[in-house]
Amino acid sequence: MKNIQKKIFFPISILLLFINGCQTTSSNDLISGSDNIFGDPLVIDTPLNQIDGVPIDGDRSLFQPIYFSYDSSAISPDQAAICEGVAKHLKQGGGVIVEGHGDERGSREYNLALGERRAIAVRHYLIELGVNPSQIQTKSFGEENPAIGDRHDEEAWSKNRRVEFAIY
């Protein structure tokens, strides 16, 4: 009898410990104002084209991309002027999808995270410049959409390490 109790009790105990140890996160925990990594008004992982009233694309020809150093999400002073022009435009209305990109070096996951950090850095700078956070969404493409994809050298990589502004 004791052997049967051990065979039943032990797996059930392990299962209960596992279930109690798992922590759930409510959607309210993931949305925290300007710290929302997807920008307002996006909600968690909902794709842009699945939210009523939010565009799935924008005009990328209004502002040139800003470029980043290797493995960096810091906005250089010479690139800050572009952000200032975007901020001035957005203060008159509309919105922007800030799209972060990386070059092909590193893993896919790493480059998605780096593209996200770049987009978030630009988002924070736009907010510092007075843009309403509700006008800004962020999106990371990582290495998936290179500006120059047919070459694999420093010149091409430097053009792929960028943030683009999709204005709507």
pLDDT tens readout for residues 49-73: 445 555 667 889 999 999 999 999 9
Give the pLDDT confidence of 117-132 residue by residue, as tens digits: 999 999 999 999 999 9
Comparing C-alpha atoms, which of 145, 91, 90, 99 is closest to residue 120? 99
- For the chain, the average pLDDT equals 79
CA-CA distance, 39 to 135, in Å (whole number)? 8
More confident residue, 20 or 119: 119
Q: At what angle do helices 108-128 and 77-90 cross, to 10 degrees?
A: 60
> 136 near 96, Cβ under 8 Å?
yes
Give the pLDDT confidence of 27-56 residue by residue, as tens digits: 333 223 333 334 444 433 444 444 555 566
Strand 162-167 and strand 96-101: the pairing is antiparallel
Predicted confidence at residue 55, as pLDDT, reads 61
Only one residue has tokens 């420093």, namely 154
